[in-house]
Amino acid sequence: MRFGVNYTPSTGWFHSWLDFEPDDVRRDFAAIASLGVDHVRVLPLWPLIQPNRGLIRPRGLRDVVTVVDIAAEFGLDVNVDALQGHLSSFDFVPSWLESWHRRNMFTDPEVVDSTADYVKALAEAVADRPNLLGFTLGNEVNQFAAAPHPTPHPITPAEGDAWLSRLIGAAREGLGNSNALVTHAMYDAAWYDDTQPFGPRHAVDHGDATIVHSWVFNGTAQAYGGLGAGSVRHAEYLTRLAAAWHTDPARPVWLQEVGAPTNVMDVQDTPDFLERTLRHVAKIEGLYGITWWCSHDVSRSLLDFPALEYDLGLFTADGTIKPTGERFKAMIAELAKAAPEPVTETLVLDDTVPGYRVTTSPSGDFSRAWLAATPADGPGPKISLASRAVN
């Protein structure tokens, strides 16, 4: 069982890639390592490394490698993300994909070729680092594929398969003989929204592990309250829902993002939300790891972020550990060696009928049935698919 954090730089947020300072990273990683975590997820900004379709900046690649090396100084493994993409309500898309140069990022042949070049180059840059844990194609890139994005790049599910195959192939080519996990990450519309072209099969058919991002501002906390059972068990539920789609029972699920958003819960409740969430999810069989969002608060000197972004960190922007950080540290010490809890009960999702995804959403009938079948003091039921039932 692995525990880590998503690294949000304390100085300048992700804009710090513009003015990269290794000593700032060392200070942040020293704090992160004090929690007892074993890895960090780092997210370089795509437009800064590939500002032109034909230019991949060597200095930008070197800065990413330096961050990986600094992590090693503190005993931390690293997962590197490629396409940022989307972070904390802001889009970071190269200018060669916008305005006068607007093209579909998923289907335009020249764009896909150049994006694959970038993914391969970034993977090559970090491939030989012994502390490279994984390489993720990008952060919730599926949010660009459909509404509610204001200017989506529409695709079909088949085109989504082709795009993922091409870019994950580029990552594998760049990594060569590295043992790093190759993954891709989607936000939860993939599981809950029938209009989202990227769906559950994309999550489980591509890459080495299934990635889930659990956020209870998606209607969960609004329905159940910040500390309600539906909220503190949402990560457990989503992890079990993801595993239901696996064709390989040995395929791991990685809870790569989970956090305590203060727009739907009281600040004083966030440590309890963290603890209850981790207690429920940590004992799921096949769970690869938990990577908390995030390491540091966004500084209030930075403007126009949604209010919750200024309070998601385990540390303040000046490096002071918060109550959530203290609780995370305690939970790691307690749960790192937790054994999976056996589960015998299974709930069947009828995936043979149109609109099944919305039934699994926080307000859907299936998710409510799962919660009703979940004992207060034990694990929730596994989930299976009707389409795989043996007649």
Q: For the chain, what is the mean pLDDT?
A: 97
User: Could you read off the pLDDT of 113-149 as tens digits, one per residue?
Assistant: 999 999 999 999 999 999 999 999 999 999 999 999 9
Distance linking the first and last C-alpha atoms of the chain: 36
Q: What integer is the mean pLDDT of 62-88?
A: 97
0.95 exceeded by the pTM? yes
* pLDDT confidence of residue 126: 98
CA 51 to chain centre: 24
Burial per residue of 321-338, b for 16 or more beta-carbon CB atoms within 10 angstroms, e otherwise: bbebbebbbbbbeebeee
| Size (the chain), residues | 391
CA 177 to chain centre: 25
* pLDDT confidence of residue 389: 81
Amino acid at the residue 258: V
- The neighbour count for residue 169, using CB atoms within 10 Å, is 15
H-run or E-run covering 31 = helix 22-33
* pLDDT confidence of residue 336: 87
- Say if CB 146 and CB 154 are below 8 A apart: yes
List, in sequence order, every beta strand (DSSP E) within 100-162: 132-138
User: Could you read off the pLDDT of 336-364 as tens digits, one per residue?
Assistant: 888 888 898 999 999 999 999 999 999 89
Give the residue among 123, 88, 82 at the shortest CA–CA distance from 9: 88
Q: Please check the confidence at residue 390 and state whether its pLDDT lies above 70.
A: no
* pLDDT confidence of residue 181: 98
Q: Tokens 């690649």 belong to which residue?
A: 61
* pLDDT confidence of residue 1: 86
- The neighbour count for residue 278, using CB atoms within 10 Å, is 26
H-run or E-run covering 175 = helix 157-175
Q: To 5 degrees, how large is the angle CA 344–CA 347–CA 348?
A: 130
The CA distance from 84 to 214, in Å, is 19
Q: What is the CATH number of domain 2-342?
A: 3.20.20.80
User: Could you read off the pLDDT of 274-328 as tens digits, one per residue?
Assistant: 999 999 999 899 999 999 999 999 999 999 999 999 999 999 999 999 999 999 9
The CA distance from 390 to 149, in Å, is 40
Q: Please check the confidence at residue 391 and state whether its pLDDT lies above 60.
A: no
Whether the bond between 294 and the residue before it is cis, its omega within 30 degrees of 0, is yes
The CA distance from 325 to 259, in Å, is 12
Residue 169 backbone phi and psi in degrees, to 5: -60, -40
Tokens standing for residue 165: 């195959």
Number of H-type helices and E-type strands within the chain: 14, 12
Q: What integer is the mean pLDDT of 240-255?
A: 96
> Domain limits of the chain?
2-342
Tokens standing for residue 181: 């996990």
- The neighbour count for residue 198, using CB atoms within 10 Å, is 27
* pLDDT confidence of residue 339: 86
The CA distance from 77 to 227, in Å, is 32
